[in-house]
Amino acid sequence: MNTPCYTIHLDIFEKNCREVMDAFEEAWGGRVEYGYSVKTNHDAGLMKYAHAKLGWFIETVSPDELELAFNLGFDAENIIFNGPCKCSRQDALINAIRGGAYVNLDNLDDVSFVCGHVSDVRDASRIGIRVNYNLEAECPGETTAGESVSRFGIDVENKDFARAVDMLRSVGIEPAGLHMHTSTRSRSAAVFTSLARKAAQLVNDYGLKLHFVDMGGGYFGGQKVEGKPSLEQYAHVITRELKKALNPEMTTLILEPGASVIATSVTYETSVLSVRDIRGTKIVTMDGTLLHVNPFMAHRNQPYSTSLIADYDARPVDEHQIICGCTCMENDRFADEHSVRRLEPGDVLSFRFAGAYTMAFNSNFIVNPAEVNYEF
């Protein structure tokens, strides 16, 4: 094994995806589609596997991600195009609507552009509106924006949502979908209850005849977290609220799970280069870097496995050990631990939960990106 490297475990990825699919398809009782979140991990192999093996769409949030999907051979009709800056590259938005992609309009500029290019819209039943409303008021302390305002989506409270609906209807486009994705701190069932309830309310208030409702991502999944909602609980509260206004036989439910299916599907392997003693502390230097598994270098111990070290359990215990990366930055530290068994040069550690927002942030800063391997 050449290190440092990522190992993508496709069996775990498929298992995680099917758990999401089973939970929501049983709860909704109608058609459910899924978008593979490119921003979470843009690995081409994962993107192709998600589509070819599982039938998932490719969910993009920028013109560059859209271009990546096109370059990998995905047709527009198999793509979801989200994000706040679609009009920064008008060719991208034109290609999306001409090709029949799902397009969720994020602001009035998006709406105006589509209205001005209505003849280019191949499939109006795939044009949706991303919704912005005061979620913080309903779920205090749970949104990423907090008491500030989220910049994503078309605001309900200031009447921009009403303007968007009127603008689309004025050119003969009936808003066909709602995109409810939001970023939260808690990922609680209460948040998703509110999102689904708001979607149902908008359907009734504006007489919408929805072809789809896209609930986005942000779920716990891939591992059991005590005290956190299960996929079945998410599915229950979301579908319960949506069914108050929508018929599953008429409306497609779309989900965009990211970290919940990708995080646990990837491990990161790195080898011990050296071990030295500095004032009683063992400094273990790896050939990889924390940047590869924790790009923002948040201060926490990264979970890892010693299963690749054959005699690990027979080794002596060191009182204090710091596992460090190979860069020149002092905070490049994987773990700071006490009373753990000794590591030696050549040992390989496998860091878990390395799939989400890791490879996507790889850069050439100090070291080159790690190579990628696949296990089936």
Q: Are strands 333-341 and 281-286 parallel, antiparallel or unpaired?
A: unpaired
**How confident is residue 210, by pLDDT bands cut at 50, 70 and 90?**
very high
Torsion of CA 61, 62, 64, 70, to 10 degrees: 60
CA distance 372 to 332: 21
CA distance 45 to 83: 23
pLDDT at 363 over 80: yes
What counts of helices (H) and strands (E) characterise the chain?
A: 10, 17
User: Has this prediction a pTM greater than 0.85?
Assistant: yes
Q: Span 74-84, mean pLDDT?
A: 97
For CATH 2.40.37.10, list the domain ranges present in the chain: 265-375
Q: Which segments within the chain are labelled E, that is strand?
A: 5-9, 32-37, 57-60, 79-81, 102-105, 127-132, 154-155, 177-179, 212-214, 252-255, 266-278, 281-286, 304-305, 317-324, 333-341, 348-351, 371-375
CA distance 96 to 58: 12
- Reported as a single tens digit per residue, the pLDDT across 214-250 is 999 999 988 777 788 999 999 999 999 999 999 999 9
CA distance 256 to 230: 16
Structure tokens at 15: 């298992």
pLDDT at 87: 84
CA distance 349 to 267: 10
Domain 31-257 in CATH 3.20.20.10: yes
pLDDT at 335: 96
Q: Span 139-162, mean pLDDT?
A: 90
DSSP one-letter code for 302: P
For CATH 3.20.20.10, list the domain ranges present in the chain: 31-257
CA distance 66 to 83: 11
CA distance 256 to 39: 11
Mean pLDDT of the chain: 95
Q: Which of 70-79, 147-156, 347-356 has the lowest mean pLDDT?
A: 147-156
CA atoms within 13 A on the CB side of 210: 28
Beta carbons of 351 and 293 less than 8 angstroms apart: yes
Structure tokens at 117: 């290019």
Number of other residues whose CB lies within 10 A of the CB of residue 260: 25
Q: Are strands 154-155 and 127-132 parallel, antiparallel or unpaired?
A: parallel
pLDDT at 322: 97
pLDDT at 268: 97
Q: Are strands 57-60 and 304-305 parallel, antiparallel or unpaired?
A: unpaired
CA distance 96 to 79: 8
- Reported as a single tens digit per residue, the pLDDT across 90-122 is 899 999 999 999 999 999 999 999 999 999 999
**How confident is residue 376, by pLDDT bands cut at 50, 70 and 90?**
confident
- Reported as a single tens digit per residue, the pLDDT across 158-189 is 999 999 999 999 999 999 999 999 988 889 99
Domain topology for 265-375: Lyase, Ornithine Decarboxylase; Chain A, domain 1 (2.40.37)
Compute CA distances 189 → 62, 233, 241, 301, 356, whole Å.
28, 7, 12, 28, 22
Phi then psi dihedrals of residue 7, to 5 deg: -115, 115
**How confident is residue 300, by pLDDT bands cut at 50, 70 and 90?**
confident
pLDDT at 223: 76
Residues 187, 192, 194, 199, CA torsion sign? positive
